[in-house]
Amino acid sequence: METVDERFTSTMAQQTLMASGKGRMARRDKGQLDRISATIILQGWMERH
C-alpha cells in the first residue's frame, strides 16, 4: 500500500483553474476542484513510477 500527501492539491487545483482563465463560479465548483486535484495526484504518482 502506498500513501500520498494531498495537503496542497486543492491549492494547486485552484491555481490551475485561475491560470486557465475560468470564471469565479467554475473555481467555486467543488467537483471541478476535486477532479483537478485527483489528476494532480495521479500525475505525481505516474511520474514517480
**pLDDT per residue over 1-26, tens digit each?**
888 888 899 899 989 988 988 777 77
**pLDDT per residue over 26-45, tens digit each?**
778 889 999 999 999 999 99
Exposure string of 6-32, with b = 16+ CB inside 10 Å and e = fewer, is eeebeebbeebbeeeeeeeeeeeeeee
Give dist(CA 46, CA 44) in Å, integer.
5
Specify the pLDDT at position 21.
86
Specify the pLDDT at position 4.
83
This prediction has a pTM of 0.79
Specify the pLDDT at position 40.
95
Residues 6+ apart with CB under 8 A from 34: 13
Give dist(CA 21, CA 11) in Å, integer.
16
Specify the pLDDT at position 29.
86
